[in-house]
Structures are given as structure tokens and as C-alpha cells.
A and B are shown apart, each in its own frame.
Chain A
Amino acid sequence: MELKIRNLRKEYGNFPALNGVNLDIRSGELIALLGPSGSGKTTLLRAIAGLEMPDGGQIFFGERDASRQSVQQRHVGFVFQHYALFKHMKVLDNIAFGMRYGQGRRKSEAQIRQKVLELLDLVQLNGLEGRYPSQLSGGQRQRVALARALAIEPQVLLLDEPFGALDAQVRKGLRRWLRQIHDETGHTTVFVTHDQEEAMELSDRVAVLHKGGLQQVGTPDEIYDNPATPFVYAFIGDSTSLPVDLRNGEAVFEGRALRISRVDSPDGPGRLHIRPQDVTLTAPSDGVVHGKIIGLRRSGGYRRADISVGVKHDRVEALLPPEQEVSVGDEVGLDFRRYAAFAEDREPPKLGLARKAA
């Protein structure tokens, strides 16, 4: 099932939770809604499910306008952050709930039981149908919640922070397993997370949200390598930035053109964003800018260098191989393998525009 979200708006009081969001979700893809808390990602997910009533805009399931349907009619599989299992029901009855009391075609008890057992097999919980939720571990409850959502053969599967309540070890295992289930069942799946690693590792595409607006939609590679906005630069991975003047496709730092090209922001004050691993050190005379190493720290398999640049001592971070011979106080030249320049704008752009047309 293909999903189209058109100009979706939602306000809580005066606080805009969704700011006119447009998003196309392809049939059968696994897409992550990624953003910090308060970015509107959960509101968007709940609006798709029909749990949240938007103030404007439309949601299409295929060609059908789902915004006119109640949550019961939308037929979505929703997995809640805290699973929301019915404590007074056994696992079997939890999974059977939607088939018994939902809006779908009635099934006989034998068919229901058959289906429940199939699903338990799918989520690898064979033999636990007689347990109560209180007798299960966190990871097992998560799986039951997923099986329950799948039982109604949903048009789309929605997961709200599916691994948020689990400890790190269980989380990694379940991540791989969810991807596997998705590939087996082929449901269009949307999940919300604030964990960029989870989003990058698990999904086909990632939609980054900030302050109720969509910042960028793309594959994990696109998001990481070509961030569309300063926010995405800052939120995904590490980055540092330098204040520059943008003139005719050229970035000017403290009066000196940086001899780097492909700067397509409008002229005016701006910032140049660079990831630490995209900084290489050269001789002081080479490089686009030159600076002085003021700090060195070991960080995993790399060394991080704090480099002071220019008269205002702006800081740039570089990730260096440990064998590179540098020490604090060295004068160095800096080359940027990859970078992006954005016009000075306290608020990031409302929609994912910038370099690649969104």
C-alpha cells in the first residue's frame, strides 16, 4: 500500500506539531521518521493511524482519502512504544483481539487459532500462546505486540519507537529481526525513532523531521552524505561549521575565497558545514584554510583534533588516523573533502530544499 501525505497540519494550542508535511511512502518500503523529541514525528505517525486528528491536509492510502476514515476503518497495524498489551488476556487472546472484535471479515475460532499460531511462529514465540503478558520479557512482549498488529492483515504497519523501552543488547537483535519480518511479509512499514543509528541501519529511507517540518527524505546514504539542511548536518553524525560569506558560488572566509566550488546557496552571510572525517590535514601553505591544533583526543579507532581557525579562533574538528604524526601547537592546512554551505538562517528551511531539489 502506497501512502501519500499532503500538506498535513496539526497544532497543539499555538505550538505547531506538524507544519504542512508532504511525504510519499512507497509500497512495501521500510521508512523511518527520525527527529528529536518534539519534532512531530510521533504526531505524524499517529495522524496516519487516525489516532490524532489533523487540523488540515490529507492522507491517502493508495487512491483512497484515509483522512475521512476512523481509526477502526483505516486498518493499520500499530505497535505502541510500551506495547499496550491487554494484561488480562493471554497471548493468544491478545493476538486474536483484532480478528474477533475488529471490522474485518468474521473468522471461525479455528481459523483464528490457526492464524495466531502462524503469527507466533513468524515472531518466534511458539508455545507461548497460553502465557499472560506479565510472564513475558520485554522483547517477547514487543514481538507479541507486533504479531497482534500483523494479525489484522494491515494496509500499513506503524511502529512508535519500537525499541525505545528495551535494553541495548535486545535492541540490536530485534532490529535485525524486524528487518527480516518486513522482508518476509512485505508490509509498508513506518517507524518512529529518535535514534539515528537505528534509522540508518534498519530502513530503506529516512525522513528527518524538525519542529514539525520535514527536513529531508532519502536513503541513509543520501541523508548522511548529502544533508539537505544545517539541521540534518548537525543532527545526523558529527559536524562543525565555519562562518563564511557566500558570493557567486564561492565561500569567503575572513576575506579570503576558499577555492572550493559547488556552493549553490544565495549570496550573503552563511555557514560552511564539514564533518570531522571529511577534514584532511596538509602543509600550512596548502589547504583551503590554515589553523593551529589546540587539542588532541583519542576516540575509538581515530584521533580527534581540535583546530583553531582564523582571527576569531573558530573551531573545526578533524578525525585523524592515529598514525598521523601531529601534536598540539602544530600549524596545519585544512582541506575539505566534502562540505555544504547554507545561507545564514537561524531557522532551517521549512521544507527539504537546498542542494538537491527535494
Chain B
Amino acid sequence: MPQFRTPSAIPGFGLTYGFVWLYLSIIILIPLGAVVLWAASLGPAKLVAILTRPDTFSALRLSFGLSLLAAGVNAVFGLIVAWVLTRYSFPGRRFFDAAVDLPFALPTAVAGIALTAIYAQNGWVGSLFAPGSLWASVFGPLKIAYTPLGIFVALVFIGLPFVVRTLQPVLVDLDKELEEASATLGARRPTTLFKVILPTLAPALLTGFALAFARAVGEYGSVIFIAGNIPGVSEIAPLLIITRLEQFDYGGATAIATAMLALSFVILLLVNFTEAWSRKRLGHVR
């Protein structure tokens, strides 16, 4: 019969292992159990009924749509930022490298009010697009804060480090010989970038995209101030959960949370699947 644990001379397994499970039970397992209990008590019919309510549905659509969009923008610019930070040397490189962590370092509420101040109609950026600006006289005024566009900006802000920090170690380890091989075979630099380097980075880029996306879907603090929270227009799913809880509608809150968890789970599963597939295919060849 296979053993649960490989015997070891080192003491303390029982104590630490037991403590870890006790801690995890109190902090996450029992509370998550409560969610499962509530979700189960709703039943499928009621769950669908809640989720297809126009306000719920549009909030979920908004959260997921904007998160995908923001993660996409982050994938592109995160790739450029990671590439520049690992490949080129220029004055201030280390400073900008450290700055990538700002969205992790700044509490979300702080980022939220700062972004709102910048993108409001009288803010540094917002005023450039407000009525009376040069932009407005050519294209018409553009409102950023208190619209889905503002939410998008906040989601880009919080998602960027996920892509950059996922790509950087891969870029550092990237075998220079691959690029040289491509060059000796006659390929010009752009061909090398798109046919050799980009496909090699693809799995890491996908992981970074997924992490940024997952973070964006659940993000609350940095979005809530800039969103404006107009029901059906700029109300995000996490805010709707809070609203339901404040109305003591625990069932409604649970339904939205379940939908968010399930959709994120499906997307992460897809990404993990693709990643595992490509890893298996690419193997660890030098």
C-alpha cells in the first residue's frame, strides 16, 4: 500500500502540516463552504434567473469584455516593456523596471482616486479630451472617467505588471543562439522577431495575459472610483456583489460570484490547457 508520506529524519511534519490545514480551514475552506451552501440552496433555475436579469447580465458582460480588452492591450505593451527592459540599456532602465511594480505597490483605492483625478474632465488627461479642447473641436468631446473607457484605463493600470513580470525571466533565458541561427540562415531581423522569438514567447505571453485578465475581472478598488457606477452602463460585477450584500440579498450576491468564478475558471483552464499542450510539444530543448 502506497504511503501518504515518504519517511524522513526531519521532525515537525505533523505539527506544521496540521497547523496549515487548520489555518486554511478557518480562513478559506469553511467560508468557501458557505458560498457553496448558498449556491446550492439557490438551485439552477433561480441561478439562471438572477444571472439573466438585465442589470446582472450587463455587469458581467462589462466586466469580462473590458477585462479581455485590457489584458489584450497589456499583452502587447507588456511585451514591448519587458523586451525593452531586458534587452536594451538606456538611462533610467532600472528605475522604470522598478516602476513596473507600482500597481502592486499602490493600494487599489489610492490608484482609483488618482486615476479618477487624472481622467476627470478637469484632470491632466481628461481635460485634453473635454469640451473646448483641441481634441473636442476635431472629434467631439470624449469623456473618460465615469464611462467604460475609464474602467478600461484602470484595468490596464492594474494588469500590466502581470504580463511584464511573467515575460521577463523567459526573455532573460531566451537562447541567443536561436536568433543567431535565424540570421545565419538569412532571415532579416523582423522575420527573426516574428517567426522565431514571438512563437518562443507565446506560452509565457499567454500566461501573463491570463493572469492580467483574472486580476481585472475581480478588480474593485481601482475601478470603483473611475467607473461612475451607472447601472447597465458602467457598473462592474464586483460592485453589484457589494450592492446585493448591502441589500441582504445573499443569494443574488452568491449567484454573481459563482458566475464570475466559473467564467474565470473556464478561461484559466483553457489557458492552462494550451500552455500544457505547447509545453509538451516544445519540451525543454536547448
Contacts and interface: CB of A to CB of B under 8 A. Distances in A.
Given A82-B175, A88-B199, A101-B191, A77 B283 contact: no
A273 interface: no
Interface string B264-285: 0000000000000010011111
A103 B188 CA distance: 8
Contact of A133 (B195, B199, B283): B283
B108 interface: no
Contact of A135 (B184, B185, B195, B283): B283
A101 B286 contact: no
B40 interface: no
A279 interface: no
Given A72-B186, A101-B195, A87 B181 contact: no
Contacts of B178: 84, 86
Contacts of A74: 184
A49 B184 contact: yes
Given A51-B180, A82-B286, A84-B175, A98 B200 contact: no
Summarize B's interface: helix, strand, loop or mixed.
helix
A134 B200 CA distance: 14
A102 interface: yes
Interface in A102-158: 102-104, 132-135, 141, 148-149, 151-152
Contacts, number: 91
B187 interface: yes
A103 B282 contact: no
Contact of B183 (A72, A83, A85, A149): A72
8 contacts: A72-B183, A72-B187, A76-B184, A81-B177, A82-B177, A84-B178, A97-B195, A101-B187
A104 B202 CA distance: 29
Contacts of A71: 180, 183-184
A88 B280 CA distance: 11
B184 A87 contact: no
A80 interface: yes
Contacts of B195: 97, 101
B175 A103 contact: no
B186 A102 contact: yes
Given A132-B282, A133-B285, A134-B285, A97 B185 contact: yes
A78 B175 contact: no
B182 interface: yes
Nearest to B282: A87
B280 to A, nearest CB: 8
Given A78-B181, A82-B177, A84-B175, A103 B186 contact: yes
Interface in B183-226: 183-188, 191, 195-196, 199-200, 202
Given A49-B184, A86-B178, 20 more contacts: A51-B184, A72-B188, A75-B186, A77-B184, A78-B184, A81-B177, A82-B175, A83-B286, A84-B180, A85-B181, A85-B285, A87-B282, A88-B200, A88-B202, A97-B185, A101-B186, A133-B283, A133-B285, A148-B181, A165-B286
B185 A152 contact: yes
B174 to A, nearest CB: 11
